[in-house]
Amino acid sequence: MSKYFKSAALVFQVACGVQLFNNYVAEFTWCFGPSMLPTLNMTGDIVGFEHLTQRFSKLGTGDLVVAISPTDPSKLVCKRIIGVPGDKVVIDPVSPYRQYITVPPGHYWLMGDNLSNSTDSRAYGPVSGGLILGRVFARLWPSPKWINNGLEEIVEFS
């Protein structure tokens, strides 16, 4: 009988370890839809996202994040951070009438890479940092690749 208790205890310990890893280190999710083309495939990618950046440093402009949807809490969204707290951002860069907003403290301005087909902060406004689950670090399937910050610094020479 003790053999079964040892096996059950081992299974319980492994399950607890997996749960702790998912909650505090990293987890995986399936992202699909046209909003992140060409970075992610429309038919779906499995991506890994980590929770450590939020705990030990700051999320930055250009980071790809997974967040709870502000309009439907049962769904997740994968978007790029365009503005961090205090940044002044254009609400809709494809609109001929430019309007700007300052991102409030504790919030982020999120947008999809495919501006013509993305529901993002242009529709639901700044997203609370509490809704952001983590920073995407890799696409695991169908073609594995590391995902770095998607925005490059523009250097002007005078």
Residue-wise pLDDT for 70-104, tens only, equals: 999 999 999 999 999 999 999 888 888 889 999 99
Residue 154 has pLDDT above 50, yes or no: no
- At 136, the amino acid letter reads V
Residue with tokens 């909003």: 35
Q: Is 95 a catalytic residue?
A: no
Predicted confidence at residue 94, as pLDDT, reads 82
What does the chain come to in residues?
Answer: 158
Contact in structure between 126 and 109 (CB atoms under 8 Å): yes
Is 35 tagged catalytic? yes
- Tens of pLDDT, residue by residue over 129-146, are 999 999 999 998 888 888
From the candidates 6, 57, 58, 79, give the one annotated as an active-site residue.
Answer: 79
Q: How many C-alpha atoms does 157 have within 13 Å on its Cβ side?
A: 0
- pTM across the whole model: 0.82
Q: Please state, in angstroms and as integers, the Cα–Cα distance from residue 54 to each residue in 2, 76, 128, 131, 158, following that order.
A: 43, 17, 13, 12, 36
Catalytic residue among 3, 7, 35, 95: 35
